[in-house]
Amino acid sequence: MRNLSLLTDLYEFSMANGFHKDLPDTRATFDLFFRKVPDQGSFVITAGLQQIIDTLPLSFTPVDIAYFRSLHLWDEDFLNFLATFKFDCHLQAIPEGTPVFPREPLITVEGPIAQAQLLETLLLTILNHESLIATKARRMTFAAGDRPIMEFGARRAQGADSAVYGARAAVIGGVSSTSNMLAGEKFSIPVAGTMAHSWIEAYPDELTAFRQWAKFYPDNSALLVDTYDVLTSGIPNAITVFKELRASGHEPVGIRIDSGDIASLSRKARAMLDDAGFPKAKITISNALDENIIESLLHQGAPIDNFGIGEKLITSASSPVLSGVYKLAAIEQDGKLIPKIKISDSREKVTIPGKKQVYRLYREGTNKAFADLIALADEPITDQHHLDVLDSNPLSVSKVQPLNSFDAKPLLAPVDLDQKAVSPLDIQAFSKQRIAELPDETKRLTKPDSYHVYMTPQLAKLQDDLIKGK
Amino acid sequence: MRNLSLLTDLYEFSMANGFHKDLPDTRATFDLFFRKVPDQGSFVITAGLQQIIDTLPLSFTPVDIAYFRSLHLWDEDFLNFLATFKFDCHLQAIPEGTPVFPREPLITVEGPIAQAQLLETLLLTILNHESLIATKARRMTFAAGDRPIMEFGARRAQGADSAVYGARAAVIGGVSSTSNMLAGEKFSIPVAGTMAHSWIEAYPDELTAFRQWAKFYPDNSALLVDTYDVLTSGIPNAITVFKELRASGHEPVGIRIDSGDIASLSRKARAMLDDAGFPKAKITISNALDENIIESLLHQGAPIDNFGIGEKLITSASSPVLSGVYKLAAIEQDGKLIPKIKISDSREKVTIPGKKQVYRLYREGTNKAFADLIALADEPITDQHHLDVLDSNPLSVSKVQPLNSFDAKPLLAPVDLDQKAVSPLDIQAFSKQRIAELPDETKRLTKPDSYHVYMTPQLAKLQDDLIKGK
């Protein structure tokens, strides 16, 4: 595992130096949360916690310390602190794969303020990225229904980690496999792929190229049929080779189309394959797809069995940023907890103060979630049968609503830094269960119904008091 | 350096296995090029070659080989090849920082076809990403004129490499510094930063927080003034502390505004600072900026000294993919060179066959570039004074144009894998020189004039013959 402790903005160190000197005994709680869901969706699939666990605890090497010294910004006292501090931050987090909503703390960090401050950039970089891709993958797999999606965006990813951790996040979000061998090796996720156009071009003609492929991979013959012309060359040649394969006791896998009018080509290809006696040969499509094109193709009845998706998944191209933030929620001085708030010109950006817990609320005795609730960590919630709540959305009218007959399950749980990695496929299964609990209206891709995230009156009052400077 | 040899799609291995068995003595030439410039710009700044050099030669570890074996796709003969092959690929590349245009080979790879195929994904991932960010940074620095830009997008980057190599690429594209300490340490690029809102919130009030900052950093006091209210709190408190600093013999750096109506706030802030006797205190702006907002703010006369740019730079959010491709251009069998082409349904996607060189054409005896030229590698170009050329754009009419009185400089040069890394700041300086050579009309951000990329009649005839199947 690479040491990413230094994946941190300079100002975190400058602040940590000041905190170390000014507030050496102050502990702080920070919340990591987001305000907006990418693609105007209603929820995010949280991902990235395992990489955070693998990266922690923070530690700096002698090379790092020498680098700090070379900047002439900080004194030896602080450099010594960086070289020797005992990592004493405690994380709580919502498990990877959980659908989460705006304003909910996804990770809370409690620890000495200098250390907790130093975690900001690292935690955000990892969680923002992986949650973004898991969320995009979930949108695409929702559009594809039960048709498998293969992730193959590595070549258009924003660097190696974008490709590798992006592939893992895509599996969490529902894709079946990746083309990325490094991700396959590292996370034990299924790898898949067929051939590129260069295979076809390297031979004198397409038929020879297909025959040679079938010779090497008689049971894995997914043939790329659009190097020259799909209908007059690619599919006829594929059928010739499929017949030869069958004659030698093998069944073909199918074809892949990577360009052209997919709706029309896939229909014609299906008819040609069926007529030739290959109704089970699968049609895979892979031409600059996203969730909207997938929905449109399937709505047109295109007979597609599998999708291969590249750049629009691995970069979440239509919405390439998840804007998670990391905000101070409370400090603890001389055993006293002092809740903290950031007040902004914009009402939308006011933070929710205090040490908090997030609950998912279910209709009593069912697994039907109907809302989430943000409460102070020490409020009793799970054993209540009646509760007054307010909308946590700062742009909504704050009207008290009574809730009855619900079960409340806490989402934030302590993070064990020695926790062993779980398979991304298991996280995908967990994620599907959590998503199944949500109302259908919140899951549609276009104009989903918003899901309520409430807050308790006690938390609302604390926020209000701090805004008013009480 | 991490071993990224496995950052490769599965199908590259499947093809390499076939090539290794079928065409063991065949050598191939692949071209890496792009067809479209992000953000409808006219040129890309190429970047990423150094990371490619640092990653090569390809080599697979015993752990990798065991992983390959576990997939049950290939035989021991191929696994043995992967474990033992001698890397024999020769790269040519256009140097990092060069402005480059559609269809020009940025890298060519010549080597045994199995090995050259295995490089596809790795080369594309790195070059696509870094060139994308360098290009975006160039757009932003163009908009900012001579005002410095600080890159601080790490927290919104698509993973650690996106943050770290993205910071390096941003410097190549013209930014002055990064907030990213890992990039600063790794590439010796300037790091910068001030404070976050959490610094202010950790203290009982803003004035105390500013005072404590000034105590620790008396010569580095750039104060963030928008935690509560810029005009009624942030700037008055900053001025109080600036006066105290001056009284103790230090000059303040300035202020940073991270929210609100920047044009209006910056003007009022400037007036308040000037009135208080701090005309040299700088105003830094950092609120979801991109090149269009920068142009608009400066057009409105906003008195901004520095820009800090986050997510819209580090992800190239408005255009987050550079779609570079890697295509077979020729194979060599029994000492004979066979040019190769990919013919597609779409005229735009037809490739340019053969081993090639790219030339920048200058008005004779000047450093004014007026066009580029793609030619076969063995055509004599540099010593010519007259040349007939055709447009290489497959969507243009192919009319012969005579060129006279020009100098031609080749852009592709052999890559030395032992080449020592050059400072990104030096590459930035080189890049500025190369950009200065281009016509002004091709540099504007909106609707730039397209720059001609010609091809020689001999190359055009080769392409035409292959399309027609001659």
Q: How far apart are CA A256 and CA A304, in angstroms?
A: 10
Q: What is the mean pLDDT of residues B212-241?
A: 95
**Mean pLDDT over all residues of chain A?**
95
| Assigned fold of B134-314 | TIM Barrel (3.20.20)
* Residues of B (93-122) whose Cβ lies below 8 Å from A: 113, 117, 120-121
Q: Do B2 and A4 touch (CB under 8 A)?
A: no
Read off the pLDDT band of B324 (50, 70, 90).
Answer: very high
B191 interfacial to chain A (CB closer than 8 Å):
yes
CB B158 within 8 A of CB A129: yes
Q: What is the pLDDT at residue B345? A: 67
Which residues on neighbouring strands pair with residue A325, listed in sequence order?
Answer: A33
Of residues B182, B195, B229, nearest to A7 (C-beta): B182
Chain A residue numbers with beta carbons less than 8 Å from the beta carbon of B67 are 181, 184-185
Chain A to chain B, count of Cβ pairs less than 8 Å apart? 302
CA–CA distance, B31 with B352 (Å, rounded to integer): 9
Nearest to B309 by CA among B410, B192, B199, B423: B192
Q: For residue A151, what is the nearest residue in chain B, using CA coordinates?
A: B9
pLDDT in tens, B269-295: 999 999 999 999 999 999 889 999 999
Residue of B78, B132, B158, B284 to mutate for A, most A C-beta atoms under 10 A = B158
pLDDT, tens digit (0-9, with 9 covering 90-100), for B105-122: 999 999 999 999 999 999
Least confident of A83-92, A195-204, B317-326: A195-204
Instruction: Give A1's pLDDT tier (boundaries 50, 70, 90).
Output: low
Q: In terms of DSSP H, where are the helices of A23-104?
A: 49-55, 62-70, 76-84
Inter-chain residue contact B184 with A10, CB threshold 8 Å: yes
Mean pLDDT of A416-436: 96
Averaged over A392-405, what is the pLDDT? Answer: 87
Partner-chain residue, chosen from B11, B164, B212, that has the shortest CB–CB distance to A18: B212
List chain A residues with CB under 8 Å of B258. Answer: none
Nearest to A181 among B10, B160, B340 (CB): B10
Is this prediction's ipTM beyond 0.90? Answer: yes
Q: Residue A470's pLDDT is what? A: 64
What is the least distance, in Å, from the CA of B344 to any CA of chain A? 6
Contact A283, A254 (CB under 8 A): yes
Q: What angle do CA A422, A424, A425 make, to 5 degrees?
A: 110
In the prediction, which pLDDT does A414 show?
98
Lowest mean pLDDT among B21-25, B55-59, B123-127, B394-398: B394-398
d(CA A464, CA A302): 54
- For residue B187, the 8-state DSSP code is H
| pLDDT of A308 | 97
B297-322 mean pLDDT: 97
Where is A346: in which H helix or E strand? none
What residues in B contact A13, CB-CB < 8 Å?
181
Residues of B in contact with A9 (CB under 8 A): 152, 154-155, 179-181, 193
User: In sequence order, which residues have a C-beta less than 8 Å from that of residue A165 and are 6 or more positions away?
Assistant: A48, A51, A126, A129, A130, A133, A183, B159
DSSP alpha helices (H): ranges in A93-119?
113-118
Residue of chain A whose alpha carbon sits nearest to that of B312? A321
pLDDT number for residue A345: 67
On the question of pLDDT at A397 being above 80, the answer is: no
Architecture of domain B10-133+320-467: Alpha-Beta Barrel (3.20)
Which residues, numbered 351 to 390 in chain A, qualify as contacts with chain B under a Cβ-Cβ cut-off of 8 Å? none
Backbone angle region of A316, left / alpha / beta, with phi > 0 → left and psi within -120 to 50 → alpha: left
Q: Determine how many CB atoms are found less than 10 A away from the CB of residue A84.
A: 10
Q: What is the DSSP string of A192-249?
A: -----HHHHHTSSSHHHHHHHHHHH-TT--EEE--SS-IIIIIHHHHHHHHHHHHHTT
pLDDT of residue A201: 87
Nearest to A196 among B11, B194, B322 (CB): B11
- Integer Cα distance of B109 and B259 in angstroms: 48
CB B46 within 8 A of CB B126: no
Say yes or no for a CB contact (<8 Å) between A11 and B194.
yes
Chain B interface includes A154 (CB < 8 A): yes
CA nearest to B319 within chain A? A317
From chain A, pick out residues whose CB is under 8 angstroms from the CB of B11: 179, 193-196
8 A C-beta contact, residue B296 and residue B266: no
Chain B residues in contact with A165 by the CB 8 A cut-off are: 159
Inter-chain touch A345–B229, beta carbons under 8 Å: yes
* Interchain contact, B216 vs A18, CB within 8 Å: yes
Contact between residue B439 and residue B370 where contact means Cβ atoms under 8 Å apart:
yes
pLDDT of residue B259: 87
B23/A331 Cβ within 8 A = no
Chain A residues with CB under 8 Å of B155 CB are: 9, 120-121, 124-125, 128, 324, 326
- Tens digits of residue pLDDT in A4-33: 999 999 999 999 999 999 999 999 999 999
Give residue A399's pLDDT band: very low, low, confident or very high (50, 70, 90): confident
pLDDT in tens, B340-397: 988 776 778 889 999 999 999 999 999 999 999 999 999 999 878 899 999 998 888 7
- How is chain A split into domains, by residue range? 10-133+320-467, 134-314
Residue type, B280: K
Q: Is the pLDDT of residue B135 over 60?
A: yes
Q: Residues of A205-242 as b/e, b for ≥16 C-beta within 10 angstroms?
A: ebbebbbbbbbbbeebbbbbbbbbbbeebbbbbbbebb
Residues in chain B: 470
